[in-house]
Structure 1
Amino acid sequence: MDKLWKILGMSSNRAKSVVVNNQKKSHFIGINLGSTNSYLAILENEGNNNYKPKVIKKFPSVIYLKGNDTTTLNPIYGFKRFVGRNFNDLIIQKEIMRNKILPFTFPYKIVKSKINEGEAWVETTYGHLCSPVKMLQGFLAKMIETAENYIGDDSVVAGAVITYPPAKFTVSVLEATLEAAVMAGLVKNYVFTILEPIAVATSYGLQKEVEGTLVAVVDLGGRSLDVSILERVNSYTCFKTKGRAVSEMFLGGEDFDNILVAYFLNKITNECSITEELSLSDLQKIRRLAEQAKIHLSSAGETEIILPFVCTSDTVEGGAEKHLNIKLTRSKFESLVSGLIDRIKLECLSCLKDAGLSAKDVDKVLLVGGMARVPIVEKVVTEIFEKSPIRGPIAPDEAAALGATAALYQRGCVGIHESDFKALCEERL
């Protein structure tokens, strides 16, 4: 049990910097590990010993694996989801099923490890097997190296505050994350964890609110939706979850992209003469165009998508290929994704119901994650909670990383409240 308290950040030893050798300055960093993108933040000295959290880099959450005898690279997307999970875990099985039904394929398979008691491992197209913990180790090592290069002055990163989602996050995942962090070079007793919604609330300074303040945090990222109600408390850790945190691990920005991909593919089928299936590279291009269209429609009412060389022209000798131009309005986009919006609404209402609250009981609303920029998402969250989400200078996809770093100054905000800790232990049983 003592080990678990340390994993969850319950150590009484908290500091902005630690001494691990006599020659180098030691620092902490803040890390938000996302399924699509991860963010690295530090406490930057602005002079006169005044420190401010700052995100210094966004890392796509992708690991590239290659074999010893080939230069072929296999990109492993969303590897964070595999860390610390058994192959038979429901989330792993859903991930396998999801990969099968997508309109494109991944260059790897999720398999059961014969070495580590049935853990979910990754097998590349050329047969290379890799542990998710080893992948996370390499990923974190790159973050540490980036931070040390940025800080300079012969510095070393010794510790970190790492965020984790409030729901569907087990003790085994926490233990595996700690293992990867130590393997990457961090000092074991200086790796702390913080719930993502608490990190978000801390980034907005809501730990300064009076006791009893209720905060709804809606986090819609690239792969998942997390909804939590936080209650400000004066005891450890400054916030606790009110009721049950709701997590839908298969509802995020990529699902919006996938709907657009399917829409574009339908357009190609209806308007083009295609004699063979599109190549994997063509599908990846279409996927990138879908994401770009979604982003553009967040600030514009209409966008034009050019799908290059997918149609065959009968008017050109030899049947030369031509572009397909598709105009897409924001209203059309919103009608296409209406089913996803309904799911977001249901999850938010479920979270309120489990907490025994009405929308009027919630004092403040935070909407974060990359999808917070999509107008229809903000609209539905405003309608549900009957108040607009707080807006500020913080980028919505950077809030958790900034909050993890800011928590270094907020001793009572790092870790996990005892009521949440008890629930996590019960989940293991």
Structure 2
Amino acid sequence: MIIGIDFGTTNSVVAYVDENMKVNVIVNERGSRLTPSVVYFKNEKQVFVGEMAKSQMLLKPSQTVSKVKRKIGTDHTYKIFNKEYKPYEIGSLIFSKLKKYSSEFLGINVEKAVVTVPAYFDDNQRQGVIKAAKLVGIDVVKLLNEPTAAALAYGVPNDESTVLVLDLGGGTFDITLMRQSNGLFEVLTTGGSTELGGSDFDEILAGWLVDEFQTDTGVDLSTDPIALQQIYNAVERAKIDLSNVNDTNVVIPYIALTERGPLHINKILTRELFDSLCKNLIEKIDELIDETLSEADLSPDQVNMLVFSGGASRMPFFRKLSQKFPNAQIKAEINPDEVVAMGAAVQAAMIEGRIKSVELRDILPHSLGVLDDDDNFVEIIKKGTIYPTVATKMFTNTEDNQDTVTIQVLQERGEKLVNLGKFHFKSSKKWKKNEANIAVSFSLNNNGVLEVSAEDVDTGEVEEVVITDSIFNYFDEELHQLDLEII
């Protein structure tokens, strides 16, 4: 069986389609449908993943990793008990936990999955997720963009529709504009940010509460990890409460002990105050939506369907965004925490042939290209190109007696260039200057991941292209599972 996995920044969810073609979320060993994407190293050999790890986030920060999804695909390292871990290795521990409880629930050894990623993820980030899953024996049969998964969970509409998916998760904000018709899901454009999510609102609320308490009492709680743990738990609950009520009390008794006796937090948080505190984040979200619509040259009244996804999409200000789209049917009845995993499970069943398949046409979120001799970015595959696709560019040598051509490959992400590595083609002969005619093909596979091949068009010689100086060195790095007991 192929399962669907929503590998989230704050929580991860697993789902599957049963024999009655019903989509079900798999509960973990604690009976919860959500598993916090948090890893706590108890010692050098034991790690906790999930709720027990989350409880240690602020108490033992040097031994706990959260929001690893934001770092996956980067050269960031975590040093724990004098050992360094890469983000994909930490991610693999989360995948191991998901695999274990899913296998126990289904009574089989889970080996294949459709795994979701933000549509805005670049090549390094996509590779990182694949590698994290592979490290624990999960074959990623399909990387599915999260907004596409959310749309799939709602089924295929009968009429042609222009659909806007707004996916605000714990750590990322994904926007996808797509057209659906006759079993075709065609992505028109994507937008969003991999650095904006519900946890950023928690940070602002926690900062507000710490500042208010210091103003009222003169006591600074910002250096007290136990107090901060309580504050983050309280503001997260308050944020959730405000999805249903206009105001809520944030009460934390005995938060500090002074010469005057115990001190308590008792503050009223209203929706109006929440929106005021988080004004910059709210404006950024609105701006990103407008940018995405503008890129597709569509106006809000051309949107026929609006899909809300991600737990943070419950926030009242976010739901008010629907007012911008007067002709849109609102889709929010499926639990937004689970809708992405459920869509992944639907895609898994389609791959298995158990559900009638639809055609998915996803697009490249960031242009791929190379550096020329003058260090200028030369676009090879343009942003917005439907994948899978192949593009070929000719290269030559710049010196006499040269038998290797080196090409630096990058992905353009907003104002910056993300290095994907250097690709090397080695010939059996030495060329004169500008003699070589090397056709380098850039292929985007079904997962939106880059693969590279090269051919000397004069000789027909084909060489395996080797990548160096990259985050992963995928072509020559062996995978070694971590020797850790996961609880």
Q: When the two structures are superposed, what TM-score results if normalisation uses the length of structure 1?
A: 0.74
User: Does the 8 Å contact 2:222/2:228 carry over to 1?
Assistant: no
Alpha-carbon displacement from aligned partner over 1:15-67 (angstroms, at most 9, x marks no partner)? xxxxxxxxxxxx1110011111111111123xxxx221111231111122344
User: Does the 8 Å contact 1:216/1:230 carry over to 2?
Assistant: yes
Q: Does 1:62 align with 2:38?
A: yes
Q: 1:210 aligns with which of 138, 141, 159?
A: 159
User: 1:262 Cα deviation (Å)?
Assistant: 1.7
Aligned residues: 350
* C-alpha separation in 1, matches of 2:78 and 2:99: 24
Instruction: Name 2:144's counterpart in structure 1.
Output: 194
* Letter matched to residue 38 of structure 2: V
Q: 2:70 aligns with which of 67, 70, 81?
A: 81
Gaps of 5+ in 1: 1-26, 86-118
* C-alpha separation in 1, matches of 2:200 and 2:343: 27
Q: Does 1:260 align with 2:260?
A: no
User: Does the 8 Å contact 1:311/1:324 carry over to 2?
Assistant: no
Q: Do the aligned partners of residues 420 and 182 (structure 1) sit closer, same or farther apart at CA in structure 2, a change above 3 Å counting?
A: same
Q: Do the aligned partners of residues 259 and 392 (structure 1) sit closer, same or farther apart at CA in structure 2, a change above 3 Å counting?
A: closer
Please give the residue correspondences for 1:153-192 in structure 2 after superposition, counting only pairs within 5 Å.
155-167=108-120, 169-186=121-138, 188=139, 191-192=141-142
User: Does the 8 Å contact 2:252/2:265 carry over to 1?
Assistant: yes
User: Does the 8 Å contact 1:307/1:323 carry over to 2?
Assistant: yes
* C-alpha separation in 2, matches of 1:219 and 1:59: 19
Instruction: Name 2:267's counterpart in structure 1.
Output: 326
* C-alpha separation in 1, matches of 2:222 and 2:127: 44
Q: Does 1:229 align with 2:177?
A: yes
Alpha-carbon displacement from aligned partner over 1:316-369 (angstroms, at most 9, x marks no partner)? xx5212213112222222222222221111111111000000011111111111
Q: Does 1:239 align with 2:185?
A: yes
Q: Does 1:421 align with 2:369?
A: no
User: Does the 8 Å contact 1:367/1:389 carry over to 2?
Assistant: no
Q: Do the aligned partners of residues 275 and 411 (structure 1) sit closer, same or farther apart at CA in structure 2, a change above 3 Å counting?
A: closer
* Letter matched to residue 231 of structure 1: R
Q: Does 1:373 align with 2:321?
A: no
RMSD across aligned positions (CA): 2.7
Greater strand fraction, Structure 1 or Structure 2 = 2
Instruction: Name 1:150's counterpart in structure 2.
Output: 105
Please give the residue correspondences for 1:16-31 in structure 2 after superposition, counting only pairs within 5 Å.
27-31=1-5
Instruction: Name 2:371's counterpart in structure 1.
Output: none
User: 1:385 Cα deviation (Å)?
Assistant: 2.2
Q: Do the aligned partners of residues 424 and 349 (structure 1) sit closer, same or farther apart at CA in structure 2, a change above 3 Å counting?
A: farther
Instruction: Name 2:79's counterpart in structure 1.
Output: 123
Please give the residue correspondences for 1:406-417 in structure 2 after superposition, counting only pairs within 5 Å.
406-407=346-347, 408=349, 409-413=355-359, 416=362
Q: Do the aligned partners of residues 277 and 144 (structure 1) sit closer, same or farther apart at CA in structure 2, a change above 3 Å counting?
A: closer
Q: Do the aligned partners of residues 275 and 416 (structure 1) sit closer, same or farther apart at CA in structure 2, a change above 3 Å counting?
A: closer
Alpha-carbon displacement from aligned partner over 1:129-154 (angstroms, at most 9, x marks no partner)? 112222222221221121121112xx
| Higher-RCO chain (CA-CA 8 Å, sequence separation at least 6) | 1
Instruction: Name 2:336's counterpart in structure 1.
Output: 396
Q: Do the aligned partners of residues 323 and 301 (structure 1) sit closer, same or farther apart at CA in structure 2, a change above 3 Å counting?
A: same
Instruction: Name 2:22's counterpart in structure 1.
Output: 52
* C-alpha separation in 2, matches of 1:410 and 1:172: 32
* Letter matched to residue 272 of structure 2: S
* C-alpha separation in 1, matches of 2:390 and 2:318: 30
Select the structure of larger CA radius of gyration: 2
Instruction: Name 1:39's counterpart in structure 2.
Output: 13
Q: Do the aligned partners of residues 332 and 176 (structure 1) sit closer, same or farther apart at CA in structure 2, a change above 3 Å counting?
A: closer
* C-alpha separation in 2, matches of 1:293 and 1:423: 46
* C-alpha separation in 1, matches of 2:329 and 2:285: 15
Moved over 6 A (4+): 69-73, 422-426
3-state DSSP class of the match of 1:334? helix
3-state DSSP class of the match of 2:128? helix
Q: Do the aligned partners of residues 378 and 194 (structure 1) sit closer, same or farther apart at CA in structure 2, a change above 3 Å counting?
A: same
* Letter matched to residue 157 of structure 2: K
Gaps of 5+ in 2: 27-32, 48-59, 350-354, 365-384, 392-409, 412-419, 421-441, 443-487
* C-alpha separation in 2, matches of 1:302 and 1:137: 40
* C-alpha separation in 2, matches of 1:33 and 1:424: 28
3-state DSSP class of the match of 1:242? strand
Q: Do the aligned partners of residues 267 and 201 (structure 1) sit closer, same or farther apart at CA in structure 2, a change above 3 Å counting?
A: same
User: Does the 8 Å contact 1:193/1:414 carry over to 2?
Assistant: no
3-state DSSP class of the match of 2:358? helix
* C-alpha separation in 2, matches of 1:38 and 1:229: 24
* C-alpha separation in 1, matches of 2:316 and 2:299: 24
* C-alpha separation in 2, matches of 1:36 and 1:82: 13
Instruction: Name 2:455's counterpart in structure 1.
Output: none
